[in-house]
Structure 1
Amino acid sequence: MTGEDPLIPAFRRGAWQPSLDTAPLPGDTGLRLALVPEVVAAADRRWWQAQVAALPGGFDAGARRKLLAAALELFAGGTVTVPGPGPQSARDFRRELWRTAGLPAPLVDRWCGLLRDRVARQAPVAADDALVLVSLPGNTFCCLEAVAEQAAAAGAVWARPSRREPLSAARLVAALLQVGWPPERLGFYPSGQQALPGLIRLTQRQVVYGGAGLAEAMGDAPGLTVRGPGRGCALLPTGFGIAEAVGRLLPLVVADSGRFCSNVRTIVCPDGPERARELAQALGAALDSVRTSPADPRWPLTASRVPGEACRLAEGLLGRLRPGDRLVTRRPVVCRSDGGEFLAPALVLLAGPVGMTDPHPLVGYEVPFPFAAVVSATAGEAGAIAAGSLFVHRLSAGGAP
């Protein structure tokens, strides 16, 4: 990035706006993020209501799809300008994501491609005049697909970025503006967590990414869609081969640095504890072979830029071990190298039983790095684990998961 002002502004009322309320970004860049207080957002909601009736027509589904495609190409490979940080090339974008969010360039390349492909597959829809909020997570910018989805379907979309990684959302909003998206129909609303309920009240529909308890915390907003943890699991067939299972499980655990809700967190073995132990040892060795830095060309891993976060996450995982459980991977969960502080892929062999009335705390446990638990389970226990998962990978002998 270039420029004298290190503040990433908000985008509201059709223009980039600074704020007296700011927060630093992780890393050592000196960048700060403008935060929008709830009272300001409420005034902006009234401004939108006054604008919506006077917006010009002709902004149909076809026009929106063309602009979205052009913006995503610019997002991935062009120079995009956010006032304050200034013009940012694709290379600059990757460098800043590494410095602030610990995302290596090969992973950014992959996610740019995934985002472009996902948006291209979205079905055309007839838009309405609703004001929509999309509250984004910090684990992956692929969730910007929800911003694109709502931009195609609504009167206006307000993107609320994660304070951990706001650069990608700011870049997408700026790219949309550069290709000609009407500025009145866009918003970039960074805020603290305490402002989220207010933003939900101010908007007509909301897509909110967050943890398991978020829906309860947000109340009964009629337009609210919560996209929470996936608790991905893999169910192995009876008589599976160890080498084949490892080859197919490794990408399910470690791809995308373990940050997707579809990543496998629980591996269910039907052939008894000894077979589960053999599988865990082989898969653990494969996970130990994935290097942290420089980025592994097969499975690039992310670094942590928040002080103390890596140790906190590792302690949270290890603190959930029960008597008899064993960490199978040999590296320390927290690894330090020239590229920063990493959370290495981790695999735990659960001693069992996993229980259906007293579930093991590591079954379906989600952390923002590659982690899975191997468990020997009965058919009933396997069914209960699958019932609690949004992503069930059923591996068949000799076939794809």
Structure 2
Amino acid sequence: MTDAVVTGPVYLDALGPRGPYRTRVPSAVTDVSGTEVARLSLVPPVFVGRALAALRKAEAVPAADIDALLEAAGEEFATGTVGGLGVREYEHLVSRTSGTPLTVVRAATRGTARFVSRARSSAEQGRPRGAVSDRRDPSLAAGHAVWARRGHVFTVNASGNHPGVHRLWLEALALGYRVAVRPSRREPFTPHRLVGALHRAGVREDQLVLLPTDHRTADVLVRGADRAVVYGGDEVVARYARDPRVLPQGPGRTKILITADTDWREHLDTIVGSVAEEGGTACVNATAVFVEGDPAPLAEAVAARLSRLPGLPPQDARAVLPVCPLDRARALGSYLRSVAVGTRAWLGGEGVVDDLGDGSAVLRPAVHQVGSSSAAQLRTELPFPCVWVAPWSRTDGIAPLRDTLVLSALTRDGALLDALLAEPTIANVYVGDHPTYWMAPGVPHDSYLSDFLMRSKALVGAL
């Protein structure tokens, strides 16, 4: 399969319950250099309201059909021509607009296809052992539990930092929800392709819709759902924290802990990969490393490895670092300098902006050493490989490790591992030589999505 470069803007229509919808004045989607590459149709609040009403009236995708539909959709997503774009054209556009290295996008295509085909079985992993998924199960006559939806309509206010964010909502569709997806205006190509592939595989247009909107209308989409997932920063998490119908997906603040009984030199590849793989843009990339003992040797070694990464345009097959518009890169660089005051810069102290000369810039890695495990900088998460290295001691305890999506623990201390697993604000614990970005179908990301979408109901004497 050869690379394909798209010339001229691509039209990305909204995909409503009655088919594609194109506005008269679509919104421009630009690449990292500022060049228009697509025109996205943004729908108004009234369109959103009608679409949600249509989803509410539609029945769920039949359970008997879902596996075959998902298998076909996964293959279509990975190899087909969807929305007029072949897979290589799609990947090239995603790389140019999001600034994600092309190799990362290509790996995400394969990974997403795998998650699509396994979405139902992955969702089923979250079903309680005491519950069945069908009222016709013979065990119900003696009294049992049925796994039931908490609602009918699920909406997604998606981010555009990585194509993989769109794997999560597939489970909602597999569990019988009707789904509405609001794509990021930064990278709308992945959800457009995924929704289109599912439609082509047999999911009806009134069961799954794609609704690009402005930010004001996005709230209409969220408020009109029975259940919703919303991606964003701390302000988004705070806005929806008190709404039980909304699952906020905020910063990951992923961490690595290395205790004195472990030689970090044996795990340097894993530590560096946890910081920089996926372009360092994912919520599962490590942003802080805690070292029991002197953190300086590790910080120096990580900085030496990261300093060798090349700065290239994102669509270059050799690119490994993220790219963004030059003005945004400069703003991020300035912010990093202000946050890092008082730390020791092992890498990035002279700046992280690598101007490519076309209106875009590579965001180069940064490694800073902080003075304590409670340093304020440890909560700072940036959209490129940026890691804070801190000392940690047993007297510091678990407190510095809280509020973490993934914690990789390089330790042999069983009691410490028990404490990490018992800490409610640590979502996942990876023990030993496992990178923080490891993911697999059926393994929870931030708990099982079904914990949020489903409940168990007692049912006795079913027919």
Please give the TM-score of this superposition, normalised by the length of structure 2.
Answer: 0.75
Aligned equivalents of 1:219 and 1:385: distance in 2?
Answer: 22
Alignment partner of 2:166 out of 144, 167, 170:
144
SS of equivalent to 2:383: coil
The answer to whether 1:43 aligns with 2:63 is no
Q: Which has the higher contact order (CA 8 A, sep 6+)?
A: 2
Give the aligned residue type for 1:43: R
Which 5+ residue runs of structure 2 have no aligned equivalent?
A: 128-132, 134-147, 413-430, 435-463
Q: Is the 8 A contact 2:291 2:389 kept in 1?
A: yes
Which 5+ residue runs of structure 1 have no aligned equivalent?
A: 82-86
SS of equivalent to 1:390: strand
The answer to whether 1:368 aligns with 2:383 is yes
SS of equivalent to 1:400: coil
Q: Is the 8 A contact 2:326 2:355 kept in 1?
A: no
Alignment partner of 1:11 out of 15, 19, 35:
15
| Aligned counterpart, 1:102 | 99
Post-superposition shift, 1:74? 1.4
| Aligned counterpart, 1:123 | 123
Post-superposition shift, 1:399? 4.7
> Aligned ranges for residues 166-315 of structure 1 at < 5 Å?
166-218=188-240, 220-238=242-260, 240-271=262-293, 275-293=294-312, 300-304=320-324, 306-315=325-334
Post-superposition shift, 1:308? 1.3
| Aligned counterpart, 2:138 | none
Post-superposition shift, 1:337? 3.7
Task: Return closer, same or farther for 1:285/1:238 CA change in 2, 3 Å cut-off.
Answer: same
| Aligned counterpart, 2:422 | none
Aligned equivalents of 2:166 and 2:353: distance in 1?
Answer: 29
| Aligned counterpart, 1:388 | 403
Aligned equivalents of 1:41 and 1:115: distance in 2?
Answer: 27
Aligned equivalents of 2:90 and 2:277: distance in 1?
Answer: 22
Q: Is the 8 A contact 1:97 1:104 kept in 2?
A: no
Q: Is the 8 A contact 1:242 1:282 kept in 2?
A: no
Aligned equivalents of 1:4 and 1:242: distance in 2?
Answer: 50
The answer to whether 1:400 aligns with 2:433 is yes
Q: Is the 8 A contact 1:230 1:391 kept in 2?
A: yes
| Aligned counterpart, 2:86 | 89
The answer to whether 1:79 aligns with 2:110 is no
Among all aligned residue pairs of Structure 1 and Structure 2, give the percentage whose two residues are the same amino acid: 25
Aligned equivalents of 1:361 and 1:92: distance in 2?
Answer: 42
| Aligned counterpart, 1:319 | 338
Aligned equivalents of 1:364 and 1:245: distance in 2?
Answer: 24
SS of equivalent to 1:279: helix
Task: Return closer, same or farther for 1:203/1:21 CA change in 2, 3 Å cut-off.
Answer: farther
Give the aligned residue type for 1:73: E
Aligned equivalents of 1:188 and 1:318: distance in 2?
Answer: 39
Alignment root-mean-square deviation, CA: 2.7
SS of equivalent to 1:183: coil
Post-superposition shift, 1:167? 0.6
Cα-to-partner distance string for 1:10-58 (whole Å, 9 max, x where unaligned): 1112311012463221211342211122232123333444x43xx5x8x
Post-superposition shift, 1:242? 4.9
Task: Return closer, same or farther for 1:4/1:253 CA change in 2, 3 Å cut-off.
Answer: closer
Range with bigger deviation, 176-185 or 317-326: 317-326
Give the aligned residue type for 1:194: R
Aligned equivalents of 1:381 and 1:343: distance in 2?
Answer: 33
Post-superposition shift, 1:329? 4.6
Alignment partner of 2:364 out of 339, 344, 363:
344
